Chain A
Amino acid sequence: NAGVMQNPRHLVRRRGQEARLRCSPMKGHSHVYWYRQLPEEGLKFMVYLQKENIIDESGMPKERFSAEFPKEGPSILRIQQVVRGDSAAYFCASSPSTRAYRTDTQYFGPGTRLTVL
């Protein structure tokens, strides 16, 4: 299965702990996007990354949140000192290229459901 993979699928953290969410893009895809979705709400863009570069982080909260997409390995969304308001579904999507926008489409992973106790 060459789809977008995310792990863990469910993550429970206590307030003040750190959450690390992982995303492996589809094979051949070099662009990764992270979204957050609160219950009964739409997708909120967080960050867009290419390998070793953050392209657009305009949707990331200024504090406690960070993202990376290293040369080797999955993309990581890191939330430090989690609070109850961080409880949400976090989706990762990937796409193949920047220039060929006519063939670009974002494909979503299954998501990570974060619950902060």
Chain B
Amino acid sequence: QKEVEQNSGPLSVPEGAIASLNCTYSDRVSQSFFWYRQYSGKSPELIMSIYSNGDKEDGRFTAQLNKASQYVSLLIRDSQPSDSATYLCAVNKGNNFNKFYFGSGTKLNVKP
């Protein structure tokens, strides 16, 4: 079983719609959670971090965490073509070893 699982997509949404990206993780002791965006040929760029159950909003982005169900999601409101990228979910178990576990990413296409 992989530590972090994501649907590879592609997820296609029309411009202006809400894009919903999901991620599940296997280890209940996981403590901190991150979403990165990666454009083709570029390096991952941090979008959001979340540590507590519930929602965290930052501009058009909302991260949602449900530790009981072991899933994290990212909502992108008013999606723009410039949001088209691969979105990586990452989990830090918060133990003595500061190792991140990355999902394989979900490719998002926002169609004009």
- List chain A positions with a Cβ less than 8 A from chain B: 31, 33, 35, 41-43, 45, 48, 55-56, 91, 93, 95, 97-98, 101-102, 104-111
Question: Could you say which of A41, A43, A48, A56 contacts B44, with CB atoms under 8 Å apart?
Answer: A43
Question: Could you say which of A35, A56, A101, A108 contacts B45, with CB atoms under 8 Å apart?
Answer: A108
* Chain B nearest Cβ from A109, distance in angstroms: 6
- List chain B positions with a Cβ less than 8 A from chain A: 31-32, 34, 36, 42-46, 49, 51, 88, 90, 92, 94, 96-105
- A102-B32, A102-B51, A105-B49 as given contacts; A48 in contact with B104, CB under 8 Å: no
Q: Which residues of B contact A42 (CB under 8 A)?
A: 88, 102-105
Give the complex CA separation of A45 and B105 in angstroms: 14
For the complex of A and B, 10 pairs with smallest distance between CB atoms:
A42-B104, A101-B94, A108-B43, A43-B102, A98-B98, A108-B44, A111-B43, A42-B105, A110-B43, A106-B100
Closest Cβ neighbor of B105 among chain A residues: A42
Please list 26 pairs of residues, one from A and one from B, whose beta carbons are closer than 8 Å in the complex, sorted by A's number: A31-B98, A33-B99, A42-B88, A42-B102, A42-B103, A42-B104, A42-B105, A43-B88, A43-B102, A45-B100, A48-B99, A55-B98, A95-B98, A98-B96, A98-B97, A102-B31, A102-B32, A105-B34, A105-B46, A105-B49, A106-B34, A106-B46, A106-B100, A109-B43, A111-B42, A111-B43
Q: Which residues of B contact A97 (CB under 8 A)?
A: 98
B99 to A56, Cβ gap below 8 A?
yes
* Chain A nearest Cβ from B52, distance in angstroms: 10
B100 to A33, Cβ gap below 8 A?
yes
Question: Could you say which of A45, A56, A101, A108 contacts B32, with CB atoms under 8 Å apart?
Answer: A101
B43 to A104, Cβ gap below 8 A?
no
Q: Which residues of B contact A91 (CB under 8 A)?
A: 43-44
Give the complex CA separation of A93 and B43 in angstroms: 10
Give the complex CA separation of A52 and B14 in angstroms: 50
* Chain A nearest Cβ from B24, distance in angstroms: 15
* Chain A nearest Cβ from B10, distance in angstroms: 11
